[in-house]
Structure 1
């Protein structure tokens, strides 16, 4: 059997990267709505950066009601390390990094890597 793609080919097996982040008092001081609010900042600063790097898609989860470790979890699905690195560099040059949010922990992970490594079925999934 010839394998047509590597299990480490991000195009076919994306890397998932979890960011545990905390909001800062500066972020919470912004009103949610309005021209200088949180959603306006997301539309004018964050969205254009994300659009430039389609090889790193973001999911955003609120967690402040369930843990003191972080207020939110950003989940990145990465098919291009170049795009991921680019967006991180751009985010570091905005108010996102250490002004509005602190990045508490970054956890890269490969989904079901154990099954790929041992060429076996995925636990918890029936065929």
Structure 2
């Protein structure tokens, strides 16, 4: 049985937050390489900022070839709301926010929350009786 207190302890059950974002023309005119390029911005601005907040890690997915809703999806794994709030506030102070990218939608989620709430097995996962 799941302890209701630990169910929302982000250190043991991280929150996942999906950001649907779009690149702007300002981002697209930057060359990929070079001192003032896209990768330099990532290395010099984003990497140090993200390193300050270990409780909010991010992975990046390209989606422009598959949808018009967004060009990219950022997936945050959050073990500290303080760190997540910090990284968001700091991102807003950079050209990332609204200059190079627009944030179209933010979707917070808790993985398999229904199973924890109802104390049932996760759907779609093999059970011991099926794998034996």
**TM exceeds 0.5?**
yes
The TM-score, its normalising length taken from structure 2, stands at: 0.93
SS in structure 2 of the partner of residue 57 of structure 1: strand
CA distance in structure 2 between the aligned counterparts of 1:3 and 1:75, rounded to whole angstroms: 27
Unaligned residue ranges in structure 1 (runs of 5+): none
SS in structure 2 of the partner of residue 124 of structure 1: coil
The structure with the larger Rg is: 2
Per the alignment, residue 70 of structure 1 pairs with: 70
1:6 to partner: Cα distance: 1.2
1:5–1:12: 8 Å Cα contact kept in structure 2? no
2:2–2:116: 8 Å Cα contact kept in structure 1? no
Q: C-alpha root-mean-square deviation of aligned residues, in Å?
A: 1.4
Per the alignment, residue 20 of structure 1 pairs with: 20
1:126 to partner: Cα distance: 0.3
CA distance in structure 2 between the aligned counterparts of 1:81 and 1:126, rounded to whole angstroms: 32
CA distance in structure 1 between the aligned counterparts of 2:4 and 2:121, rounded to whole angstroms: 19
Per the alignment, residue 81 of structure 1 pairs with: 81
SS in structure 2 of the partner of residue 48 of structure 1: helix
The TM-score, its normalising length taken from structure 1, stands at: 0.97
1:117 partnered with 2:113: no
Unaligned residue ranges in structure 2 (runs of 5+): 128-132
2:2–2:119: 8 Å Cα contact kept in structure 1? no
